[in-house]
Amino acid sequence: MKLDVSSRDSIQALVETTKFFGEITGVIHAAGVSPSQASPETILKVDLYGTALVLEEFGKVIARGGAGVVIASMSGHRLPALSADQNALLATTPVEELLSLPMLQPEKVTDPLNAYQISKRGNSLR
């Protein structure tokens, strides 16, 4: 099965496939791209949006007492402090609105490393 973590349809198909094998009691997510591999836009789409999407879709079906693990870089902890409002937005904005946040627009996030760090911060907040 080919999977695109930045596609809701793809993640929903994965959820349906895994449900076929029984109750989902755990999810491990490690997909992402690095600053040397992709543009800021792609990094935000895969590493931030994609992770939020995986958490949302599997969160709907994971068994009571189940667990999810996101394996990510420590880079999110190297990002300078964000405001309380920015942290709240990264943590709670609905997935489909996440990439529309003003703080994530191309004119604001121009460096792949910055996009990566913001993505990892968002992952840890979610």
State pLDDT tens for residues 13-29: 999 999 999 999 999 99
Burial of 47 (0-12, 13-18, 19+ CB in 10 A): buried
- Count of alpha carbons within 13 Å of 120, Cβ hemisphere only? 20
Q: d(Cα 45, Cα 79) in Å, to the nearest integer?
A: 18
* Single-letter code of the amino acid located at 106: P
CA nearest to 36, candidates 88, 90, 112: 112
In a 13 Å sphere around the CA of 43, the CA atoms on its Cβ side amount to 26
Question: Per residue in 45-74, pLDDT tens?
Answer: 999 999 999 999 999 999 999 999 998 888
* Angle at 50 (CA atoms; ends 69, 20), nearest 5 degrees: 65
- Looking at residue 105, its amino acid is Q
pLDDT at 7: 97
Mean of per-residue pLDDT scores for the chain: 94
| Per-residue confidence band for 75, with pLDDT thresholds at 50, 70 and 90 | confident
What pTM value is reported for the model? 0.93
What percent of the chain has a predicted confidence (pLDDT) above 70?
100
